[in-house]
Amino acid sequence: MHANFLDPYQEGTSPVHRLDARIKLILVIAFILTSALTPAGAWPIFTLLLSLVLSAELLSDLGIVFFMKRALLALPFVLAALPLLVTVDGVVLLALPLGLSITQQGLERFISISLRSWISVQAAVLLASTTTFPEILHAMRALGLPRLMVAIIGLMWRYLFVMVDEVLRMLRARTARSGESEFSGHRAGGTIFWRSQVAGGMAGSLFLRSLERSDRIYHAMLARGYDGEIRSLPQPGLRPVDWLVLFIVLLLLLSLLVLSRILWG
């Protein structure tokens, strides 16, 4: 196993892949904001937002199932919203023990939050799957994010792979010292207490190695003239089709948001 499995980008030549990264970043942010600002219970608007992101997924040529699996990242947000079922006052739908009850308003808010989380995560996954991370960083910088923030995000992402490779090497070394093959089907090592001691030692060693490595990397970057700015070739200008997609989708999202606030706000 190699740390490259962490990279969500999927190569392709679809219209979504070819769309400028700056446009994709703006549209994804606008889509998530529209979803977040849509009032609870605006089911037709949520349906249209879902249809919009599903259409983009089809255009990406990666398959809807690909995005559905990765949209499971929204599950923690759904679980966090569960208490709304019994804490929001309203028309009682189901009485539960301990004086609790599920209300219509609580169920409506729970489903709305679940839909918001699910479709927003799908939009974020679509961006990450069709845009390389350097392109996303350049898009952030082009949209005015502080260069220090962009540099921190870029370095964190790049050296995440280095740290994961380090962890994998440490795990292989531990397996080799325990006298068991990682493909033998047996658990390497001794008791749970022994394994916890080894895991604690590995965590401490990884922390010290990361500090030492970060210090060496920082001094090496300074020696090469690093001043906090990401150096890259000039970004190409936006094509007419990029502007057209930006205008149409933003107009559609704004229309859906205004309509939802009028009818359900």
Residue recorded with tokens 């970004």 = 235
Q: Which of 20-24, 60-64, 89-93, 187-191 has the highest mean pLDDT?
A: 20-24
pLDDT confidence band for 258 (50 / 70 / 90): very high
Residue recorded with tokens 């977040």 = 36
Buried b (16+ CB within 10 A) or exposed e, 223-252: eeeeeeeeeeeeeeeeeeebeebbeebbeb
Considering only residues 71 and 130, tell me which one the structure prediction assigns the higher pLDDT: 130
Buried b (16+ CB within 10 A) or exposed e, 60-82: bebeeebbeebbeebeeebeebe
Characterise 9 by phi-psi region: left (phi > 0), alpha (psi -120 to 50), beta (else): beta
Q: Which of 12-21, 143-152, 171-180, 192-201 has the highest mean pLDDT?
A: 12-21
Could you tell me if 75 and 114 are in contact, meaning their C-beta atoms sit under 8 angstroms apart?
A: no
Q: What is the pLDDT of residue 172?
A: 82
Per residue in 81-129, pLDDT tens?
A: 888 888 888 888 888 887 788 888 999 999 999 999 999 999 999 999 9
Decide: helix, strand or coil at residue 143. coil
**Mean per-residue pLDDT for 177-205?**
68
